[in-house]
Chain A
């Protein structure tokens, strides 16, 4: 059994990475990449205003990110592919944008290798670390699926860490200073790292001032801009750190800030000797800081890339490396469940939209159905965001707390038995957690039947007690093969039968009639009424009657209804009187529209 990463392992990674690179993408990069053209047009001082004026794009990052993209986009400008800020760009230009952060991601993996080598740990472990970073499930998601640009800040942070371990103080401060304007997370690592090494108060103050210089320069430069003040300094996610707090009566103590200060104090009072032990403490404090910010505050999925190198380094410097890799898979699982519940139709199957299978090729026909028919959220069994979020936060805490150096001591020169196999399992299982349900959603959208009418997102406001309730609709096509209605069981088992009849509105001719055993219903779920192709005629108005004669308040189901009307021919009727809202129903047709 081989123990180090070989060429074919990197080829496996590259194949997966290229496929995901091309197939998935979230839309934000179009905005950031597009904004950067303002610099190439010479709008340096009025960068933020020019983007609003030209393309109605409100840039919300500090200038560093846009400057980097502007440099990268020089060839695009020179070839005349794009000359000015623009949101909607071609697929291939977006892929070009995505290439820049991807290169930084690959560069970061080289830095992980160099950091491990710097600690005089054997070559095999360093290569494993490099591979472990590249194939870290959450990192892979952030870079190759979501496709954002957090790798800029990760790259410069790792450069800072590398020089920190080489005891090159100037470069350590320099690269952290460059990293901070991209995203603020490096500051959370820089301060504990500085305090761990430096006990001289004046030198600490000096380095803190030095590290803030690039940020301060950008700030001073753009502070007169109102848009900069509103959209960059007023960027709402920075407020997340105040969400978890302890009310004291007069004020709310931010738990993130309190915990971070405690970590800093611990780092200051900790004296460590020995390079490897020092690196272990460094990883411990860095992962603790990441746990505090991502565990006690809201995060966006791509941000977690920042924590990945410290999880990887910490695991490689721990005697129980493989258990941290197992934790990575578990973390990826609950990360995906959580984000698919929070960022619905954004960071889930919706990322097909900007990929090659999205608006290009065959995808043009699939897109209208993608986020409507089946979502990844529907496939994961755990529906409670509190539980999935808590498990993820707890796993992050375990991954940080048990990197505590006294737990980590062991022979780091020893090869990790079956290390590569474990890494492959981690990688493939980790990305499968996202990719398999995403592909299922895509296939469901691509294969028949197709949605013809979709009235969803309602509330449980029609309990089935006594009277008949009716939903009227008009069939748009002749090939309707399924009608669905949405119901809730009040989270209990009901035993009454529910009668559902579909008939023509005008003639009263019965099309189909079904008696449902409500004890078989799942809570808050669609229930299907089978229809044969051709039974419903295009342009004809139909009614679905629901009645539950034995229904009581303690033994019945509840239908969901919306607040708004779709059109004049589609409405809900109660006691024969038309209402200006609808029951939640769906119509499926056999052929694509």
Chain B
């Protein structure tokens, strides 16, 4: 069997060569340098991203966005106190956000109002108005990706890795899918969360609390992300209380202004997640509700965690925000668009990790399972329990293995293999978006 033997020998030599190459790589990495410069994205890749983005902007339906953006004209018509009642009178069915979201949209819609293109809340709008509506969350989403870059630089990833990290955040399949297929307004609070995180890592207390206060004013759910971050950094009880009160101010103002308008609190559910805490352990006289129980444990864990460096702080921040989000979203009634809030932070965590590649691969699974969940739910198909279980466990893996113990020794470390997967990951996400868009159009016909 000489030929076979030769083949074995050749393979053995190849393996040895690979080992030597790996050894060399490790040595060079130890010396703190990258082996080869990371390939930047090619023009063709930029074109693909742009094409997918444009097609989603132009063709994808955005009913929820029309409702939210449309309702904001109530403020432009100076219907401040009876804003929700007025929206309903005008035929807006969905008024499910806190007032600040509508205020921001009202500012954005000022040109439409001034040019008399739209005068009052309309449940259906012309194509160009819809495009205008879509532009605001797109800009917020883009800005969030830019903030990822800034945060990555702040953590010490270096410009090259930070750019790649921002690109990865922007092109993350789940994010891309939720933002450009689902078209919710989550990108607005997301932007303030990211800005808050940026200030958090820069040790700018007021910036951090202020940004989160705005985000909470937009979406009560942000408390779930804010409190673990605050407890991780601030151990003084008085400061903790001060910061919580400060962060609550816009929210409390909203409640104060609209306290006599029960319609607000009928539409805007507790913590925005339908507050359905059914998952629990019956201990006889009451049910221990897993969501609350685990979330409080996460808060406790974050308080009792002490960090020594900015990288470690970022690592734990990513971990606690991830756990908080996973527990509160996966163990209650799902609202898929809320997962968008976890996207940039998850990417930051992946880029701090020593094995970026695996998270690029898992991100594809994340998006696939979420799309499968939404499709099963809408088409009322079977197997939702299996998909939801897999999704929850996948998310726990993605979050849990970003524990600082698994992070790369140096923040600027960048394994080469990740870039290929980054492209594959985006293509998978883009394909998902396109398929989704076509499916929606097909069903609409």
> Assuming A398-B296, A402-B304, is B289 touching A387 (CB within 8 A)?
yes
Complex CA–CA separation, A243 to B300 (angstroms): 27
Contact in complex: B281, A244 (CB < 8 Å): yes
Q: Output the least CB separation between B355 and chain A (Å).
A: 27
Complex CA–CA separation, A353 to B277 (angstroms): 37
Q: Output the least CB separation between A331 and chain B (Å).
A: 11
Does B17 sit within 8 A of A, measured CB to CB? no
Contact in complex: B304, A493 (CB < 8 Å): no
Contact in complex: B266, A342 (CB < 8 Å): no
Q: Output the least CB separation between A426 and chain B (Å).
A: 11
> Assuming A323-B303, A387-B277, A402-B300, is B266 touching A393 (CB within 8 A)?
no
Does B309 sit within 8 A of A, measured CB to CB? no
Contacts of A395 in B (CB 8 A): 296
Does A519 sit within 8 A of B, measured CB to CB? yes
Complex CA–CA separation, A109 to B293 (angstroms): 31
Contact in complex: A493, B296 (CB < 8 Å): no
Contacts of A579 in B (CB 8 A): none
Does A389 sit within 8 A of B, measured CB to CB? yes
What is the chain B residue whose CB lies nearest that of A385?
B286
Contact in complex: A386, B287 (CB < 8 Å): yes
Contact in complex: B277, A386 (CB < 8 Å): yes
Contact in complex: A244, B282 (CB < 8 Å): yes
> Assuming A297-B284, A391-B292, is B304 touching A320 (CB within 8 A)?
yes
Contacts of A240 in B (CB 8 A): 284
Contact in complex: A390, B292 (CB < 8 Å): yes
Contacts of B301 in A (CB 8 A): 402
Contacts of A519 in B (CB 8 A): 262-263
What is the chain B residue whose CB lies nearest that of A489?
B262
Q: Output the least CB separation between B416 and chain A (Å).
A: 38
Contacts of A393 in B (CB 8 A): 288, 293
Contacts of A398 in B (CB 8 A): 296-297, 299-300
Q: Which residues of chain B in 241-296 are interfacial with respect to chain A, using CB atoms and an 8 Å cutoff?
A: 262-263, 266, 277, 280-289, 292-296
> Assuming A401-B300, A402-B300, is B262 touching A520 (CB within 8 A)?
yes
Q: Which of B266, B287, B293 contacts A397 (CB 8 A)?
A: B293
Complex CA–CA separation, A520 to B277 (angstroms): 27
> Assuming A401-B300, A493-B263, is B284 touching A394 (CB within 8 A)?
no
Contact in complex: A243, B284 (CB < 8 Å): yes
Does B444 sit within 8 A of A, measured CB to CB? no
The interface bits of chain B over 295-329 (1 if a CB of A lies within 8 angstroms of the residue's CB, else 0) are 11101110110000000000000000000000000
Complex CA–CA separation, A492 to B269 (angstroms): 12
Does B12 sit within 8 A of A, measured CB to CB? no
Contacts of B299 in A (CB 8 A): 398
The interface bits of chain A over 325-342 (1 if a CB of B lies within 8 angstroms of the residue's CB, else 0) are 010000000000010001
Complex CA–CA separation, A298 to B284 (angstroms): 7
Does A184 sit within 8 A of B, measured CB to CB? no
Contact in complex: B281, A492 (CB < 8 Å): no
Complex CA–CA separation, A407 to B300 (angstroms): 12
Contacts of A77 in B (CB 8 A): none
Does B237 sit within 8 A of A, measured CB to CB? yes
Contact in complex: B297, A298 (CB < 8 Å): no
Complex CA–CA separation, A394 to B301 (angstroms): 12
Does B377 sit within 8 A of A, measured CB to CB? no
What is the chain B residue whose CB lies nearest that of A299?
B285
Does A183 sit within 8 A of B, measured CB to CB? no
Q: Which of A390, A402, A492, A520 contacts B288 (CB 8 A)?
A: A390
Complex CA–CA separation, A391 to B303 (angstroms): 17
Does A296 sit within 8 A of B, measured CB to CB? yes
Contact in complex: A390, B287 (CB < 8 Å): yes
Contact in complex: A386, B283 (CB < 8 Å): no
Chain A: residues with Cβ within 8 Å of the partner, total of 32
Q: Output the least CB separation between A311 and chain B (Å).
A: 14
Contacts of A394 in B (CB 8 A): 292-297
Q: Which of A255, A390, A398 has the most CB of B within 10 A?
A: A390
Contacts of B300 in A (CB 8 A): 397-398, 401-402
Q: Output the least CB separation between A110 and chain B (Å).
A: 29
What is the chain A residue whose CB lies nearest that of B294?
A394
Contacts of A387 in B (CB 8 A): 277, 289, 292
Complex CA–CA separation, A240 to B237 (angstroms): 36
Q: Which of B237, B287, B288, B293 contacts A323 (CB 8 A)?
A: B237
Contact in complex: A390, B293 (CB < 8 Å): yes
Q: Which of A243, A493, A520 contacts B266 (CB 8 A)?
A: A493
Contacts of B294 in A (CB 8 A): 394
Contact in complex: B285, A342 (CB < 8 Å): yes
Does A322 sit within 8 A of B, measured CB to CB? yes
Q: Which of B262, B285, B292 contacts A298 (CB 8 A)?
A: B285
Contacts of A391 in B (CB 8 A): 292, 296
Contacts of B293 in A (CB 8 A): 390, 393-394, 397
What is the chain B residue whose CB lies nearest that of A242?
B284
Complex CA–CA separation, A508 to B285 (angstroms): 49
Q: Output the least CB separation between B403 and chain A (Å).
A: 16
Q: Which of B283, B297, B303, B304 contacts A244 (CB 8 A)?
A: B283
Contact in complex: B288, A322 (CB < 8 Å): no
Does B93 sit within 8 A of A, measured CB to CB? no
What is the chain A residue whose CB lies nearest that of B284?
A243
Contacts of B235 in A (CB 8 A): 320, 323
Complex CA–CA separation, A364 to B282 (angstroms): 41
Q: Output the least CB separation between B335 and chain A (Å).
A: 19
Q: Output the least CB separation between A120 and chain B (Å).
A: 26
Q: Which of A297, A397, A407 contacts B283 (CB 8 A)?
A: A297
> Assuming A391-B292, A397-B293, A401-B300, is B284 touching A492 (CB within 8 A)?
no
Contacts of B281 in A (CB 8 A): 244, 255, 296
Contacts of A320 in B (CB 8 A): 235, 304
Complex CA–CA separation, A264 to B11 (angstroms): 54
> Assuming A390-B293, A391-B292, is B285 touching A493 (CB within 8 A)?
no
Q: Output the least CB separation between B134 and chain A (Å).
A: 31
Contacts of B286 in A (CB 8 A): 338, 342, 385-386, 389-390
What is the chain B residue whose CB lies nearest that of A407?
B304
Contact in complex: A243, B282 (CB < 8 Å): yes
Q: Output the least CB separation between B178 and chain A (Å).
A: 29
Complex CA–CA separation, A393 to B293 (angstroms): 7
Contacts of A296 in B (CB 8 A): 281, 283, 288
Complex CA–CA separation, A297 to B297 (angstroms): 19
Complex CA–CA separation, A296 to B296 (angstroms): 16
Contact in complex: A298, B287 (CB < 8 Å): no
Q: Which of B282, B296, B299, B301 has the most CB of A within 10 A?
A: B296
Complex CA–CA separation, A295 to B266 (angstroms): 33
Contacts of A407 in B (CB 8 A): 304
Contacts of B263 in A (CB 8 A): 493, 519
Contact in complex: B280, A386 (CB < 8 Å): yes
Q: Which residues of chain B in 410-438 are interfacial with respect to chain A, using CB atoms and an 8 Å cutoff?
A: none
Q: Output the least CB separation between B265 and chain A (Å).
A: 9
Q: Which of B237, B266, B285, B289 contacts A390 (CB 8 A)?
A: B289
What is the chain A residue whose CB lies nearest that of B305?
A407
Complex CA–CA separation, A413 to B293 (angstroms): 34
Contact in complex: B288, A389 (CB < 8 Å): yes
Contacts of A295 in B (CB 8 A): 288
Q: Output the least CB separation between A491 and chain B (Å).
A: 9
Q: Output the least CB separation between A325 and chain B (Å).
A: 9
5 A-B pairs with CB atoms under 8 Å apart are A390-B288, A393-B288, A398-B296, A493-B263, A519-B263
Which A positions have Cβ atoms within 8 angstroms of B?
240, 243-244, 255, 295-298, 320, 322-323, 326, 338, 342, 385-387, 389-391, 393-395, 397-398, 401-402, 407, 492-493, 519-520
Q: A244-B282, A391-B296 are in contact. List 9 more A-B contacts (CB 8 A).
A: A323-B303, A387-B277, A390-B280, A393-B288, A398-B300, A402-B300, A492-B266, A493-B266, A520-B262
Closest 6 CB pairs of A and B: A243-B284, A398-B300, A394-B296, A389-B286, A244-B283, A298-B285
